[in-house]
Amino acid sequence: MTKPKTREMPRPDISLTSALGLPAVYVKDARKSFGDKEVLRDVSLSIKQGEVVSLIGPSGAGKSTLLRCLTLLDTFDSGELAYGNVRVCANVPGESRTTYDKEAERQARMRFGIVFQNYNLFPHYTVLKNVMDAPIVVQKRDPKEVEEQARKLLERLDIADHADKVPDQLSGGQQQRVAIARALCMNPQVIYFDEATSALDPKLTQDMHRLIRELAHDGMAVGIVTHEMGFARDVSDRIAFLFDGQIVEEGTPDEVIGNPSDPRTKAFLANAED
């Protein structure tokens, strides 16, 4: 007897991914050009569950481009990208470009969230609706359950009092926390931050540091793009230094920032100090 197979809604399966020993996100030999300008050249990088990885590098190095490709807002020209056991794109022999799998893209989208540099909250929705809308509309979850989770997240991020306001009534730091709640309410396995702390005062930076460590402690993989070396050093388990589209150095904060070996890293860090 064969029953037709029903497809289950993709649910975050942190246990499966880690049981298989797969990284939460995995990029291999990724390349990307704009016209004849090579912006990413053979970038390989992965983040495990519970790990915080920061991407640093000078302006124009390709950090944003890499983040856009990781979040499927843009595509790699060649290389491989996987979220846990979901392989989003891979090189197929005989094809010059890497091949994206639509269904895998859809599943992968449920596995990562991003906090944009300018947050990109939906201005016409209240804070609560910003957080609840996608889980209900996209993931088709029970509104009651989603609201419960959303309110807990707002509580945790210290913005529960603002649940019924619209984003433009909030400060930048508060908006960023709404954006974090919005990403977390989708139960992702990976969360990316574009410029996590550039808009924050020292106190909020410290809060952000604690939050990111908590998320990692709960098993989330965290990817950060930042220009702030101090923050990257304190919060990260690993740091990758991107220069001219290549990762020229990668290691623990103490290795990469404390004791860089590549001359390009040294020069960048010397400049970054002032």
Partner 1 sequence: MTGMLLNGYVVSLQIFALTLIGAIPLGVLVALGRLSRFKPLSWLVGLYISLMRGTPLMLQMFAVFFIPYYLFGQQTGPDYMFVAVMIAFIVNYAAYFAEIYRSGIQSMPRGQYEAAQVLGYSRTQRFFRIILPQVFKRILPAMGNEIVTLVKDTSLAFSIGIAEMFTTSRALVASQRSMVPFAIAALIYWITCLVIEFVLRRIEKRMDYYHD
User: Distance (Å, rounded) from C-alpha 107 to C-alpha 25?
Assistant: 13
Supply 177's token pair: 């926390």
Distance of closest approach, residue 183 Cβ to partner 1, in angstroms: 8
Instruction: Spell out the residues 6+ positions from residue 60 whose beta carbon is closer than 8 angstroms to its own.
Output: none
Q: Tell me which of partner 1, ligand ATP, Mg ion, none is bound by residue 60, counting a contact when its beta carbon lies within the kind-specific cut-off of 5 to 8 angstroms.
A: ligand ATP
Considering only 16, 34, 92, 106, the residue that binds partner 1 (CB under 8 A) is: 106
With contact defined as beta carbons under 8 Å apart, do 40 and 76 qualify?
yes
8 A C-beta contact, residue 71 and residue 63: no
Pairing mode of beta strands 190-194, 112-115 = parallel
> Is the Cβ of residue 62 or residue 188 nearer to ligand ATP in the bound state?
62
71 touches which of Mg ion, partner 1, ligand ATP, none (CB within 5 to 8 A by kind)? partner 1
**Which residue, judged by CB position, is nearest to Mg ion in the bound state?**
64
The listed partner (ligand ATP, Mg ion, partner 1, none) that binds 22, CB under 5 to 8 Å by sort, is none
- Which residue from 250, 113, 122, 131 is spatially nearest to 193, judged by alpha carbons? 113
Site string for partner 1, 177-196 (x = CB under 8 A): -----x---x----------
d(CA 157, CA 104): 31
Q: Residue 30 Cβ, how far from ligand ATP at the closest point, in Å?
A: 13
Task: Please select the residue that binds partner 1; options are 31, 72, 80, 237, rule is CB under 8 A.
Answer: 72
2 Rama class: left (phi>0) / alpha (psi -120 to 50) / beta = beta
Q: Is residue 63 involved in binding partner 1 (CB under 8 A)?
A: no
In angstroms, give the least distance from the CB of 112 to Mg ion. Answer: 18
Residues 149 and 4: their CA atoms lie apart, in Å, by 34
**In this structure, are strands 221-225 and 238-243 parallel, antiparallel, or unpaired?**
unpaired
Q: Which is closer to ligand ATP, CB of 61 or CB of 212? A: 61
Binding site for partner 1 (CB under 8 A): 71-73, 106, 109-110, 112-114, 116, 118, 120-124, 133-134, 137-139, 166-168, 182, 186
